[in-house]
Amino acid sequence: MSQKNTIMNLESGQTLGEFIIENQQDFQYSTGELSRLISSIKLATKVVNHKVNQAGLVDILGKFGAENVQGEEQQKLDVFANEVFIKTLSQREVVCGIASEENDDFIEIVNQQNSTKSKYVVLIDPLDGSSNIDVNVSVGTIFSIYRRVTPEGTPVQMEDFLQPGNKQIAAGYVIYGSSTMLIYTTGNGVNGFTLNPSIGTFYLSHPKMQIPEDGKIYSVNEGNYALFPQGVKNYIKYCQMEEDNRPYTSRYIGSLCADFHRNMLKGGIYIYPSGTKSPNGKLRLLYECNPMAFIAEQAGGKASDGFNRIMDIQPTELHQRVPFFCGSKSMVEKAEEFMAKG
Annotated binding residues = 101, 125, 127-131, 221, 252, 282, 288
| Sheet of strand 180-185: strand arrangement | 107-108, 95-100, 120-128, 139-147, 168-176, 180-185, 190-196, 201-206
Q: How far apart are CA 49 and CA 176, in angstroms?
A: 6
Task: Determine the length of the chain.
Answer: 342
Parallel/antiparallel/unpaired status of strands 324-327 and 269-272? antiparallel
- Please, which residues have CB within 8 angstroms of residue 15's CB and are 6 or more apart in sequence? 201, 202, 203, 204
Phi first, then psi, for residue 195 (nearest 5°) are -80, 130
Q: How far apart are CA 8 and CA 5, in angstroms?
A: 5
Point out the annotated binding site for Mg(2+).
Answer: 101, 125, 127-128, 288
Angle at 193 between CA 215 and CA 285, to 5 degrees: 60
Supply the angle between the helices 256-266 and 290-298 in degrees, to the nearest 10.
10
Count of CB atoms situated within 10 Å of the CB of 73: 13
Count of CB atoms situated within 10 Å of the CB of 72: 14
Q: Are 291 and 134 in contact (CB under 8 A)?
A: no
Point out the annotated binding site for substrate.
Answer: 128-131, 221, 252, 282
Q: Are 161 and 106 in contact (CB under 8 A)?
A: yes
Q: Return contacts of 90-96, CB within 8 angstroms, 24+ apart.
A: 91/40, 92/36, 92/37, 92/39, 92/40, 93/118, 94/33, 94/34, 94/36, 94/37, 94/40, 94/118, 94/120, 95/37, 95/120, 95/121, 95/122, 96/120, 96/121, 96/148, 96/152, 96/156, 96/160
